[in-house]
Amino acid sequence: MPELIKELDVDECVFAYSDVHYETVMGLSAIVNAAGADFRLLGPKNTALKSTKPVISVCAVRTGSGKSQTSRKVIELLMEKGLKVVAVRHPMPYGDLNSQRVQRFATLDDLKKHNCTVEEMEEYEPHINRGNIIYAGVDYEDILRAAENDPDGCDVIIWDGGNNDFSFYKEDLSITIVDPHRPGHELSYYPGEVCLRVADVAVINKVDSADPASIAKVEENIKKVNPSAKIIKAESKITVDNPDIIKGKKVLVVEDGPTLTHGEMTLGAGTIAAERFGAASLVDPRPYTVGKLTETFKIYPKIGTLLPAMGYGEQQLKDLEATINNTDCDSVIIGTPIDLSRVINIKKPYTRVYYELDEINSPNLNEIIDEFVKKFNLV
């Protein structure tokens, strides 16, 4: 980068990435400044677009905090009131960005039409299965206008955040998820703290699996930087298709890829399911990995005995399939949001894990959404 700055006589470098520790961000700033250029972080005033529809944003302080299940809960509550809800997902496209400028997903066939990766399917498929439209792509001005004028109708836009980025749209209600499994990260990762500081509602998720001291720490930090935010505590309710596939078995746990990699989590829904439903042990997949997955474990050695569902391309899917089928285990726990057996051939007994948001206190999302609906005269 220093060479490019000098070669191209660069005046300014803009940092446009998310879920990055503050030390890394400022380390990059030092490199840029030392090369003579300015280092800039863009804020919502200059980046957020204004919608003609009411907007609810769902963001988080880290990847894997529980944004998706929170978005689903918000959408379900709105749809129960007879409202037409359109979700817009933080950008995820890979490959030909021109052809992916505006993407609309209404059926599972649309996932094939747009050549979605596993990571994209994990975000879009749950929305499709619940009957709401979801948009994504590259041009977020055009995406917004398409969503507002969706052929099936649109009363409310849901910004379904990615990583720990803030909303691309000016929100009328901002919900931010905080993860007590990573206490302190809400104040040390960019731009997650931005999401926390602008939140109208802060959801402390996973209180059923986190320790009380960590829950207290994140609550203290919320009150410190955003004392006006309403705080909701929620459990991440875990269910499985078939508990018998877990009980007493040596299991391979497949978790959401980004949560384990740059999200730096050492457990996920599949891990918790293995514990709660009585697995005998977790099988280490590392001796059985092939290809790109072997590289992933070298880059992220702290993943440990879990298998990240990496599927950014055809080769990664083949490597994931081979690794699962190579592993010496009794059964497989799929902790990803999609049915992996739809995209790869799993030759071992397996069960899927489902996780839904369940608030345990008041205020809760039902009360928050009631206020929102009343404010904008939506029903």
3-state secondary structure string across 68-114: HHHHHHHHHHHHHCCCCEEEEECCCCCCCCCCCCEEEECCHHHHHHC
DSSP E strand boundaries for 77-215: 85-89, 102-105, 133-137, 156-160, 173-178, 189-190, 201-204
Look at residue 312 in the predicted model and tell me its pLDDT: 65
Among 159, 194, 154, 193, which Cα is nearest to 173's?
159
Q: pLDDT tens-digit profile of 270-297?
A: 999 999 999 999 999 999 999 989 999 9
Look at residue 316 in the predicted model and tell me its pLDDT: 84
Percent of the chain with pLDDT over 70: 99
Q: pLDDT tens-digit profile of 203-226?
A: 999 999 999 999 999 999 999 999
Contacts of 348 (CB under 8 A, 6+ apart): 252, 324, 325, 327, 329, 330, 331, 332
Q: What CATH number is given for 48-236+358-375 in this structure?
A: 3.40.50.300
Among 24-28, 99-103, 115-119, 323-327, whose mean pLDDT is lowest?
A: 115-119
Q: Which has more pLDDT, 317 or 230? A: 230
In DSSP terms, 101 is beta-bridged to none
Contacts of 107 (CB under 8 A, 6+ apart): 128
Contacts of 23 (CB under 8 A, 6+ apart): none
CB 139 within 8 A of CB 133: no
Instruction: With a cut of 80, say whether residue 262 has pLDDT above it.
Output: no
Q: pLDDT tens-digit profile of 180-203?
A: 999 999 999 999 999 999 999 999
Instruction: With a cut of 80, say whether residue 367 has pLDDT above it.
Output: yes
Look at residue 163 in the predicted model and tell me its pLDDT: 85
Look at residue 309 in the predicted model and tell me its pLDDT: 87
Percent of the chain with pLDDT over 90: 78
Q: Quick one: average pLDDT of 14-28?
A: 96
Instruction: With a cut of 90, say whether residue 122 has pLDDT above it.
Output: no
Look at residue 71 in the predicted model and tell me its pLDDT: 94
Q: pLDDT tens-digit profile of 333-351?
A: 999 888 888 889 999 999 9
Among 296, 304, 241, which Cα is nearest to 267's?
304
C-alpha angle 217-165-188 in degrees, rounded to nearest 5: 35
Q: Which has more pLDDT, 26 or 114? A: 26
Look at residue 231 in the predicted model and tell me its pLDDT: 98
Q: pLDDT tens-digit profile of 146-183?
A: 999 999 999 999 999 988 999 999 999 999 999 999 99
The domain ranges of the chain are: 2-41, 48-236+358-375, 239-355
C-alpha distance from residue 121 to each of 28, 89, 112 (Å): 32, 12, 10
DSSP of 7-37, one letter per residue?
HTT--EEEE---SEEHHHHHHHHHHHHHTT-
Instruction: With a cut of 80, say whether residue 94 has pLDDT above it.
Output: no
